[in-house]
Amino acid sequence: MISRAALHGSRGAQAAVGARALSSGTEWFPSVHPIKFAGPDSKDPLSFKHYNASQVVMGKTMADWCRFSVCWWHSFRAAGADPFGSPTIARAWDDGTETIENATRRVDAAFEFFVKLGVPFYTFHDVDVTPLGRDLAEFNANFDRMQEVLAAKQAETGVQLLWGTANLFSHPRYMNGGMTSPDFGVFARAGAQVRKAMTVTHELGGSNYVFWGGREGFQTILNTRPRQELEQAAAFLRMVVKHKQDIGAEYQLLIEPKPREPMKHQYDYDAQTVIGFLHQHDLQDHFKVNVEPNHTTLAGHSYEHDIIMASQLGMLGSIDANTGDELLGWDTDQFPSNVRQATLTMDAVVAQGGLAPGGLNFDCKVRPMAGELTLDDLERIALEGPAAEAGTASGKQELYEMELSRFV
């Protein structure tokens, strides 16, 4: 058993991410070399132009300010399908089976990617890393086995778990929600699933645990009792707080707002809605907000709105760094490339002294037309450039003022 202290690793170990060799016999990204900082004039497309992990800005390294993380679901499970078409992306390491062997290959590929990219963190849903099994008992047994695989990779590479979460929206049982489901059996299953995911996240040394309620809401008010469902959600979250205490977890609990999709109306509409809910049910001391800007714009706000509001209210815990498409009305999960938006985001992060124990998690889809796997790396580097450049701008008064006068 690997200790949680070993999984967290030292700062030196975090800084060395990207320099270590992996023990897996297969190299899944052979054409990609470890990504290094090469400066803004570099002609190497697989290099960082602005993000220099060890550069100190306002008393912290850029790695400490940004705390970059790669999400497991879009990066290693999504196959490029959309509501109108079939999958377009074939993964060399994924044979499509719900087996421990396939899940382990996926872990090997993912950690090779993390190390070559040089990110210190990753995130997952329970079902991203674990074969489903025939029932809850088999799923939990599979999760235990995958916990061992993930723990070994974390210890080997120094890459840490930023946050874990339970998927309470994909399975048909959750069509009417998990924590707000009118079916007590579904409510109980959601509780069991969250309990296990919280425990595994704790054992892996996760820094945060996230709740995103894509189906916690309603399609029509005609057959819904919102007050009852909100009180039910609050009761669920009080059990979450109790379980966190029981297992001795120290991670931060986060709720991620979104106004709609897949439900027509979600109860966690935006940051202020979530914060109001937490205060109403006396949960404000136990949870903070994980803001995803693409969700913020779906709620009718500007990109940076929820980040700034949550930060100003002392409730910004972490950020899913992505953006939407202004011409589309759904959650496109694109890599952000707007320097103005990134600068305003990093200004809020710097103003509150950083995001730790949260981070900047790349909750971004590999595009269906991607083709070559190295394009995934290129998109991420395109993201890290603006984010890192914005971080530097927030740390230098002259550049910050220039950005404000130019864009705001």
- Whether residue 238 is predicted with pLDDT greater than 90 in this model: the reply is yes
From 4-18, 32-46, 222-236, 354-368, the region with the lowest mean pLDDT = 4-18
- DSSP codes joined into one string, 172-221: GGGTT-STT-S-HHHHHHHHHHHHHHHHHHHHTT-SEEEE--TTSEES-G
Rounded distance between C-alpha atoms, residue 48 and residue 312, angstroms? 31
- Which CATH number characterizes residue 182's domain? 3.20.20.150
Averaged confidence pLDDT in the chain? 90
Average pLDDT over residues 47-60: 96
Report which of 215, 194, 209, 193 is spatially closest to residue 132, judged by C-alpha positions: 193
Backbone φ and ψ for 163, nearest 5 degrees, come out as -160, 155
- Whether residue 145 is predicted with pLDDT greater than 70 in this model: the reply is yes
pTM equals: 0.88
Residue 115 lies in a domain: yes
Residue 277 lies in a domain: yes
Residue 1 lies in a domain: no
pLDDT of the residue at 404: 46
- Whether residue 107 is predicted with pLDDT greater than 60 in this model: the reply is yes
From 138-142, 289-293, 363-367, 380-384, the region with the lowest mean pLDDT = 380-384
Average pLDDT over residues 253-280: 98
pLDDT above 70 as % of the chain: 84
Dump strand ranges (E) for 214-327.
217-218, 252-255, 265-266, 287-291, 316-320
Overall domain count for the chain: 1
Residue 296 lies in a domain: yes
Average pLDDT over residues 285-290: 99
288 contacts: CB under 8 Å, gap ≥ 6 = 252, 253, 254, 255, 310, 315, 316, 317, 318, 358
Is 11 or 83 the better-scoring residue by pLDDT?
A: 83
Report which of 169, 157, 159 is spatially closest to residue 128, judged by C-alpha positions: 169
Average pLDDT over residues 277-303: 98
Average pLDDT over residues 94-122: 97
Q: How confident is the model at residue 83 (pLDDT cuts 50, 70, 90)?
A: confident
Rounded distance between C-alpha atoms, residue 5 and residue 226, angstroms? 43
pLDDT tens-digit series, residues 322-361: 999 989 888 999 999 899 999 999 999 999 999 999 999 9
- Domain extent at residue 79: 52-407
Residue 203 to residues 191, 206, 210: CA-CA distances in angstroms?
A: 18, 8, 16
Residue 131 lies in a domain: yes
Q: Which residues are catalytic?
A: 125, 128
Average pLDDT over residues 224-237: 98
pLDDT tens-digit series, residues 207-216: 999 999 999 9
- Whether residue 199 is predicted with pLDDT greater than 50 in this model: the reply is yes
Q: How confident is the model at residue 82 (pLDDT cuts 50, 70, 90)?
A: confident
Place of tokens 């220039």: 402
pLDDT of the residue at 25: 77
Contact (Cβ atoms closer than 8 angstroms) between residue 336 and residue 321: yes
235 contacts: CB under 8 Å, gap ≥ 6 = none
Rounded distance between C-alpha atoms, residue 124 and residue 159, angstroms? 13
Residue 144 lies in a domain: yes
Q: Write out the two tokens for 195.
A: 């309990």
Is 85 or 380 the better-scoring residue by pLDDT?
A: 85
Residue 344 lies in a domain: yes
Residue 179 lies in a domain: yes
Q: Write out the two tokens for 272.
A: 């202020």
